[in-house]
Chain A
């Protein structure tokens, strides 16, 4: 067999390298170089206030395991995720199913529920802060009208994570709902007709025999992206509570920010970021591995 590469092939190969070059440079500049720098920084005791630093090996990582503050932030994050995830998933699914059955108002409802997604969360957070103000907030005023005691939304250690979860739910439900709607629309109508011929015309049968299994890939995607959103909680904390009261709303990403930009422990903060990256990577991996198995046809 003749293995010689013709001049044409060689020229094309060279052209191919030139063509991937811009993308490669961008990838390097945007992802690979910064992550490498963070990785490097995580092995140092670099601080923002001093130019002097030295390599301290895995000290930053071992320190994390004994750090009560990190433990507290992880606990808060997981607790918050446990509040946020079921709501973000179930409420959007129910909304999507009910809206899909609407003929007349479907598009207007879609727009209404999607509106929060299009708004700037930072600005909306301030609005929510005003609404949920413990003394002058509209929500507490309403509650008091009905004769109940107002709730100290952001001032109570027991309530603050719930309050943050409510705000995040408001902002994310419309997005998840649209994802679910797309999934629902792609289920062939003839399956429901076949089901009703087969006798499966009870709403519960329809849901568990057709809708839910056919929605598998969408549901997986929503679950994973919502988990990532839950772990990425930052804006509302930074704007409304700054981790308070008494670190009750200090979540992982906010702690990373505090360590780096308030306490100037860049090395430690870099290590925390990488752990965060690892967690997100696991979620993404889970999605990539699990959804492929759920694709039909």
Chain B
């Protein structure tokens, strides 16, 4: 049974439709990322799961039971906020104990003055302290318990926020862009810490981010959203290798995928290379072809690793404009000769024969080969065409080179 099920969730703020009929299943113990540009509705969806916002229509089920009209505390979910939302007037220990106090002590024991006449509280306080201790140890913040949030660094605040969410033993762990307030180096570190936390705790994680790298590296499953709709839900590699449409292909992957048009004129052509004749039977009109930056191989530049492309891979003329040296690899910017308006990025691994290039901005004509098996085909309006069964044909058609 799915741990978390969303059924036809719709939400509008005034005239703006923020979520348009979202349905989603998340399995027990799964790490799912809701990813998309800002304003795509991912945060609203998370807040609806949390119970901070209620959907206009639709249903939320946790472990098969509807919680649509339940308050957040009755859902057994925990949330880490983007700005952490730590209580600034409380010490770290008090912050961590808040969920336990709310769950264990009756109202009168929580109020000032009255709590001194609550006998039940005396029994529960050691239990609460033990719970705080345990989480503090798990997240290595034991030495910070007496400090106020203002006295902590960004990374430490982040851990306290995680701890406050963990302490109550929730079923589902919700995170709203928890890394966006950290600097780049810390982000990578906390990223692996969260992944580790997911593995050790075995909880279901729902993680909201606008950063596709975070989504790709951390999740079991990625749900890509755009303007209130789910574009595609699947494993990170599935979204990368097998995107459902052009928007998914563009969003996932860094640097961005290259998109070129195939000429629908006489025969279907990519530059001066003929595409398989029977493609025309499948496609009416324009065709767009996506090529990942690493699926293009430079043929006449020394010192670059040469990927093994299938024999029938098309070879094209390329105008190099600028090279970025990233250490182990180069990022080559330029254009195909047949389509000089479209910027193209190539990722090329260096090999041992690599020596310094000339000036990085020098323009130069190169010969590049596209990996025929890695080409993605889309219709003009961005729909993906599954043409894996349509291989490039005989090599002689590609011979007419630059």
Known A-B contacts A196-B52, A197-B78; the reply to A205 vs B148 at CB < 8 A is no
Question: What are 7 contact pairs spanning A and B, CB under 8 A?
Answer: A195-B87, A197-B99, A201-B71, A202-B107, A205-B102, A216-B89, A296-B148
Assess whether A190 is in contact with B85, with CB atoms less than 8 Å apart.
yes
Chain A neighbourhood of B98, CB < 8 A:
195, 198, 200, 209
Q: Lowest 7 CB-CB distances: which A-B pairs, in order? A: A199-B102, A296-B88, A194-B85, A199-B73, A190-B85, A213-B89, A198-B99
Contact, CB under 8 Å: B87 / A210: yes
Indicate whether B42 reaches chain A with its CB closer than 8 angstroms: no
Q: Is B112 an interface residue (CB 8 A)?
A: yes
* CB-CB nearest in chain A for B86: A194
Q: How far is the CB of A192 from chain B (nearest CB, A)?
A: 9
Q: Which residue of A lies closest to B164 (CB)?
A: A198
Question: How many angstroms between the C-alpha atoms of A209 and B97 in the bound complex?
Answer: 12
Determine chain A's interface SS by DSSP, over half rule. Answer: helix
Given contacts A204-B111, A296-B148, whether A197 and B73 have CB atoms under 8 Å apart is yes
- Are A194 and B150 closer than 8 Å at their CB atoms? no
Report A-chain residues with C-beta under 8 Å of the C-beta of B52: 193, 196-197
Q: Looking at the complex, which one of A196, A197, A204, A209 makes contact with B87 (CB distance below 8 Å)?
A: A209
Neighbouring B residues of A213 by C-beta, 8 Å: 87, 89-90
Min Cβ gap A292→B in Å is 14
In the complex, what distance in Å separates the CA atom of A196 from the CA atom of B77?
Answer: 11
| Total residues of chain A contacting the partner, CB 8 A | 23
| Chain B contacts to A: CB under 8 angstroms | 50-52, 71-73, 77-79, 81-83, 85-90, 98-99, 102-103, 107, 110-112, 148-150, 164-165, 168
Q: Does A22 contact B (CB under 8 A)?
A: no
Chain B residues contacting A296 (CB-CB under 8 Å) are: 88-89, 148, 150
Q: In the assembled complex, which residues on chain B have CB atoms less than 8 Å from the CB atom of A204?
A: 107, 111
Which residue of chain B has the shortest Cβ distance to A194 in the bound complex? B85
Bound Cα distance from A214 to B85, whole angstroms? 13
Determine the chain B residues whose CB is within 8 A of the CB of A201 once the complex forms.
71-73
Residue in A190, A199, A202, A208 whose beta carbon sits within 8 Å of that of B81 in the complex: A190
Chain B: CB-nearest residue to A187: B88
Asked if A66 is at the interface (CB within 8 A of a chain B CB), the reply is no
Q: B71's contact among A193, A196, A214, by CB below 8 Å, is which?
A: A196
Instruction: Give A195 Cβ to nearest chain B Cβ, in Å.
Output: 8
Q: Give the distance in Å from the alpha carbon of A149 to the alpha carbon of B79 in the complex.
A: 60
A214-B89 in contact given A190-B83, A296-B150 (Cβ < 8 Å): yes
Q: Could you tell me if A297 and B88 are in contact, using CB atoms closer than 8 angstroms?
A: yes
The residues of A that contact B99 with a CB separation of less than 8 Å are: 197-199
Residues of B with C-beta under 8 A to A216: 89
Shortest Cβ distance from residue A193 to the other chain B in the assembled complex, whole angstroms: 5
Chain A 126-144 interface 0/1 with B at a Cβ cutoff of 8 Å (1 = within): 0000000000000000000
Cβ distance B116 to chain A, nearest Cβ, rounded Å: 14
Beyond A198-B99, A199-B103, whether A193 also contacts B81 by CB under 8 A is yes
B contact residues around A7 at 8 Å (CB): none
**Does B148 contact A197, Cβ atoms closer than 8 Å?**
no
Residues of A within 8 A of B112 (CB): 208
Closest to B110 in A: A205
Cβ-neighbour of B83 out of A188, A197, A199, A208 (below 8 A): A188
CA distance A201 to B98 in the complex (A): 12
